[in-house]
Structure formats: structure tokens, C-alpha cells
Amino acid sequence: MRPAHPTEQAVGMEHYVSDTDGIGGHLREDDEHFRVRELERFSTEPVDASLDAYPHLVFRVTLSGWDTNDFASRLSDALGISRERVNWAGTKDKYAVTTQLFSVYGAEPADLPDVNGAEIDVLGRAGRSLEFGDLAGNAFELVVSDPDQPENVAPITDELHAFGGLEDAATEGTVVGVPNFFGQQRFGSRRPVTHKVGLEIARGDWEGAVMAYLGNPTDAEPEGTQDARAFVHETRDWQEALERFPNRLRYERSMLHGITECDGEPGPEDFRAALERVPSNLQRLFVHAAQSYAFNLMLSERLERGLPFDRPVEGDVACFADTDAPDGLELPDTDRLQRVDERRVRSVTRHCERGRAFVTAPLVGTDTDLADGEQGEIERAVLDDLGLEPADFDLPGEFYSSGTRRAILVRTPLKYETDPLTLEFSLPKGSYATVVLREYLKVDPVDLG
């Protein structure tokens, strides 16, 4: 175990679990070097099924150079329909070749347009639209460009295999395991502040939340943007700050517009209203990022204490596997939880060894019950250090969260080739490819993006 990159430590990822030096290099030199394919689990009827009963046309799209949201907008424009009638299961990045499902309400196959950089394959019809999360996971094929020590891929794989603790898997490739951290993207790759905003929201400091978003300049930003953030932090001159913030920072400007429109000095309700001017998904992301930061800290502390990730200790809370997951994919079902008391340690350990159960940690919310034993000590200590407790997430509107639990270990069969250096693996939905890649490259997170 060795210290992580400082940027990762700032979002709670304190360590690498592999001690071998990283291979170095970077990703996405070309879109073809980053391939992502959804592992699907969405049923369809034949394409000639009744439009009345099955009004949603479902199709698989392979995109090159398209962000999911941008492609959905292009699709809705071409069809002459509301953007709200286009749905998908998972958002994918622009700088990649991605294969994913879409559904469109009321469309016929002949209606679908020809779009440069998009290959469309109609699958059938469904009685409901795709929803976010209607996938089991994602399969990745990634090329690492300009590695410094490509020969280190083998010993790193061996170390991650040992950490995963799964010895008897009949799979293609070596099963590796890593802590199921939330990756840097959760917090902002170049400006990791979303968790800082969320922490202030959970503490009830609405002004602090606004300032966490408006302020906090980073070296990765243009000098003018850094100056504008520093100015608003130092002066609270909202009108002048609005003049200084560039137009491309539309969410910051929207907040500033809201503050300048209030009568007199802004109070807590005015700052909350300013936060609520940003899209609802971003409002939720603020709180989710705070939960994710606390989760990362809990995993880092468990690592430091030398507690296992692949099996429980007394006091842990475990979940069981989703039995409908595709072959070769371990998919935790966090709706099926069991507290591991002294009597159950051995039986739950056997389930974990077979990939049928997983140790969890909390994404803290109003309904969270913390673990017992040493893991419970870790969870309470992290929340105490952050000045939080579950009841703090009883928040208004989109900021409310009841919480859940999340597996602390993610495992996958991994294959690699050396010329070019290529890694292939699959992850369950909600897990990040970067948490696997960071162990191999050990570089600035920007180079993992």
C-alpha cells in the first residue's frame, strides 16, 4: 500500500493498494483507444409489436465523438420531438467509442435519422422507456499510450488479484480487485469541489455552499476565471462578480443573478434559492458527492487499519449478489442487506468467497443504520470529523437523500495485451473504470480522464 496522488487524496482516496510502480502513460490519445459497451438487461418485444401496448422504440447505438446528451438532442431535433421523449440507461463520454441503448417514445424504425459517427441497430419495442440504471454494467477496452514501465502491468495484476481474494474463478483473464472508490469524475476532474458544496448543504450553511461553488479557484482554470473566483470570495460584491465571471460559466452566473436580484443583503433562503437555480441533477450531485467523499474516507481508513475488503469482520453490514447479473459480472444488490454478527461471520465469508455477498459501507442519508464493531467505529469517526450525522440529509427538495449502502470491493476478470498496452475488463453499474486504471498508471487523475 502506497500513498495516492495528492489530487486523489483530496477526494478521500488516500492510497493505492498495489505497491509496484505505475506503468505511467495516458488514456484517450484517440477515441478508438477508449471503448465502452453497456452490459444490457432490458427486455424488448419484436419491432412489429403493437404501438399502443409497446410505444417505445428501443435501439442500440455505437457512437464515436458523441456525448450522450448531445446525441439525444441531435436525435430529438431530427425527429421533431421533445428531448424528453429520448431516454437512455447510462451517460457516456464524448471522447470514446461507446455502445449503449436508447429508447424513443412513439417512433418507427424508418423515422431514425442517419447521423455521422453513429451506428444504429433497432432491437424492438418496450412498454416503458429506458431509465437511468437500466443496465447491469459496462465493458471496457482501453489502450494506454506512452507507458513508461509497461512491464509492470503483470506484477500490478498479481497484487490486485491477491487483494480481490477470489482464487477459484473459472473466467477468462485474471480476477483483480480494488477498493470500490468513487472516481475523480464524481467530484470534478479538474476542479474537485462538488463534495465541498454538498458538505456545506448538509451542514445547513447555504452561503457556504454557494461560496464553495463560486470560489475555490484552481490552477487548471484560466487566469481570468481564477481572478473572478478570488474576487467574489474576498469581496462578496455580487454585481461586480457577475461582470467578471465569463459567460461560459453559466451555472455560476445563474447563481450570481439570483443573489443580485434579492432585496438587501442576501440571507440563507436567498443563497438556497441561488443554488436551486442550477439543474436538479446538479443539485442532487452536490449531496451525492458529499456522501461519496465520506464513503471514500471510510474505505481509506479501513485500508489503513488493515481490515479485509474481500470478507467481513464482526459488525460489518453485507449485501448479497444480484442473481440476474450477466455471466462474469459481480453485481451487488444493496436492497438485500444482512448485519454480520459473531454467529454469521463464517457463513457470510463463504458467500463472499464465492462472489455471492459483499461487505458494504454507507452512502449516508436519513435512513442509514451504521455498522457495528470496528467498521462502525470507522463510519462514526468519519462522520464526526466531517461534522455530519444521518439526520443532516433531511434536506429540502432535490437535496434530500435517504442514503443507501455500497460494496467496498469491486472485482473483475482482467485481460491485458502489451503491444499496444491494452486492458479489458467489466464493471457493475456505478463503479468507475478509473479506480482500476489508477492502480495501473499511478499518474495525475487528469491523465485518466
Residue by residue, what is the 3-state secondary structure of the chain? Answer: CEECCHHHHCCCCCEECCCCCCCCCECCCCHHHEEEEEEECCCCECCCCCCCCCCEEEEEEEEECCCHHHHHHHHHHHHCCCHHHEEECCCCCCCCEEEEEEEEECCCHHHCCCCCCEEEEEEEEECCCCCCCCEEEEEEEEECECCCCHHHHHHHHHHHHHHHCCCCCCCCCEEEEEECCCCHHHCCCCCCCHHHHHHHHHCCCHHHHHHHHHCCCCCCCCHHHHHHHHHHHHHCCHHHHHHHCCCCCHHHHHHHHHHHCCCCCCCHHHHHHHHCCCCHHHHHHHHHHHHHHHHHHHHHHHHHCCCCCCCCCCCCEEEEECCCCCCCCCCEEEEEEEECCHHHHHHHHHHHHCCCEEEEEEECCCCCCCCCHHHHHHHHHHHHHHCCCHHHHCCCHHHCCCCEEEECEEEEEEEEEECCEEEEEEEECCCCHHHHHHHHHCCCHHHHC
Asked if 93 is an active-site residue, the reply is yes
Active-site residue (options: 67, 93, 111, 158): 93
Query: What angle is formed at CA 361 by the lines to CA 356 and CA 362, rounded to 5 degrees?
Result: 125
Active site residues: 93
